[in-house]
């Protein structure tokens, strides 16, 4: 039975009510329970393949082309300094009415942070209406919201005006390295984008986001006997530690720097000739990102010279900062107005977290990236979904899309 609104929503038209009344909360919950029962951690290729197949079957209900796209090559620095390819899962892409006058992008991710051997594999009702489980909020619930909203929109005469691409990637939780180019390709020519990360339990959305850059700096020194001829050695571990301290000192308003780990070293009687520094940067603006990038290179050069070692940096700023520009402000305003029409108070605030919304915004496309369910404690075994928000948020998305169509954009 379809979930129906219980409040008096005088600001909705009769046709809008008809569309929103098609949203079936119980069917959405069943989807979440099915999808969340499969471990789809970013490194679990079998689980991701099973999930992608189920999602492809579900999204085939839309009148478009459904396909699975192979991941782009991604590599990483191993602890020994070698650079190896990483295997990622396929990404789901759905294209509907590519020639329509209004083009939108909707994105989500099928991967979770929970590895295949995690003990957190089951769903538990914490209380009526609150479901605990891996990925129920982040973002199996969000995917169900996206699909329900699109299916509802397809029942409207306005659907003929709306073209959209759906992208559900398999590597968002590990930085979207194998899907970043796909996101950029699909963002091209779009009026706006909606991404289905979870909102906070009270419904608050994420506004501006800082960026994120992950780097591995490979330090190569020279080994020597620690007692007989240490002066002939060049200590890579000390050089990496010196670089870590210098990078940490870059932290300031608008930039957080976190030297996170040093791999390497050797036996106590050997001057170590190998180390790898892992470091994360969180710039709040593109200007601060450029500063961090330049300073990383400068300090690498300084440390290489002063310690007589060689340094090789590997990595990038994979998530550019996401400010709230004029277009994004208009899109947030539309979502807020649609929320008011549904009896929902919609607000947003900045966050230090990152997601695919950062990448979309970097393409110049207005995006609201927390259109998913209300939930919390994500990335932990306490993760929960407030199940009433499934239909609530599907209605919010559907109404937002319909009113974008009515306005012919922002």
Instruction: Note the pLDDT of residue 5.
Output: 43
Q: What are phi and psi of 285, to 5 degrees?
A: -150, 165
Mean predicted confidence (pLDDT) in 268-283: 98
First to last CA, the chain: 34
Structural domains present in the chain: 14-208+322-407 (3.40.630.10), 212-319 (3.30.70.360)
Confidence of residue 10 (pLDDT cuts 50, 70, 90): low
The answer to whether the beta carbons of residues 128 and 363 sit under 8 Å apart is no
Confidence of residue 350 (pLDDT cuts 50, 70, 90): very high
Instruction: Note the pLDDT of residue 102.
Output: 96
Q: Concatenated DSSP letters for 44-57?
A: -HHHHHHHHHHHHH
The CA distance from 210 to 403, in Å, is: 29
Burial category of 165 from C-beta neighbours within 10 Å (exposed 0-12, middle 13-18, buried 19 and up)? buried
Mean predicted confidence (pLDDT) in 61-83: 97
Confidence of residue 134 (pLDDT cuts 50, 70, 90): very high
Residue with tokens 């619930």, as numbered in its chain? 141
Q: What is this structure's pTM?
A: 0.94
Question: Which tens digit of pLDDT belongs to each residue from 174-194?
Answer: 999 999 999 999 999 999 999
Evaluate if residue 8 carries a pLDDT over 60: no
The CA distance from 330 to 328, in Å, is: 5
Evaluate if residue 6 carries a pLDDT over 60: no
């Amino acid at each position: 039975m379809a979930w129906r609104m219980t409040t008096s929503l005088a600001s909705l038209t009769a046709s809008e009510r008809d569309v929103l009344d098609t949203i079936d909360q119980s069917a959405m919950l069943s989807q979440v329970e099915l999808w969340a029962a499969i471990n789809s951690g970013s490194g679990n290729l079998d689980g991701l393949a099973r999930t992608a197949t189920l999602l492809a079957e579900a999204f085939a209900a839309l009148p478009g082309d459904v396909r699975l796209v192979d991941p782009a090559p991604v590599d990483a620095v191993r602890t020994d300094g070698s650079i190896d390819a990483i295997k990622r899962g396929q990404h789901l892409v759905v294209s509907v009415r590519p020639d329509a006058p209004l083009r939108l992008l909707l994105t989500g991710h099928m991967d979770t942070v929970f590895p295949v051997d995690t003990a957190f594999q089951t769903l538990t009702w914490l209380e009526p209406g609150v479901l605990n489980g891996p990925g129920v909020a982040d973002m199996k619930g969000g995917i169900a919201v996206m699909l329900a909203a699109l299916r509802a929109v397809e029942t409207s005469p306005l659907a003929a005006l709306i073209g959209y691409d759906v992208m559900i990637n398999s590597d968002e939780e590990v930085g979207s390295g194998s899907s970043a180019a796909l996101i950029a390709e699909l963002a091209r020519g779009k009026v706006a984008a909606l991404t289905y990360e979870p909102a906070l339990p009270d419904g608050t959305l994420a506004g501006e986001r800082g960026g994120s850059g992950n780097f591995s700096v490979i330090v190569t020194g020279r080994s020597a006997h620690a007692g007989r001829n240490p002066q002939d050695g060049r200590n890579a571990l000390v050089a990496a530690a010196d670089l870590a301290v210098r990078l940490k000192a870059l932290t300031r308003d608008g930039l957080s720097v976190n030297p996170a780990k040093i791999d390497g070293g050797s036996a106590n009687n050997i001057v170590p000739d190998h180390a790898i520094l892992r470091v994360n940067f969180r710039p709040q603006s593109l200007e601060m990102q450029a500063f961090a990038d330049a300073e990383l290179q400068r300090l690498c050069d300084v440390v290489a010279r002063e310690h007589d070692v060689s340094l090789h940096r590997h990595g990038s700023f994979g998530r550019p900062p996401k400010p709230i520009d004029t277009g994004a402000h208009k899109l947030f305003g539309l979502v807020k107005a649609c929320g008011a029409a549904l009896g929902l108070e919609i607000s947003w605030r900045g966050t230090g977290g990152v997601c695919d919304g950062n990448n979309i915004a970097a393409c110049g496309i207005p995006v609201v990236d927390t259109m998913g369910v209300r939930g919390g404690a994500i990335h932990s075994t306490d993760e929960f979904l407030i199940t009433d928000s499934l239909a609530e948020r599907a209605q919010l998305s559907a109404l937002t899309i319909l009113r974008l169509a009515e306005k012919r954009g922002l």
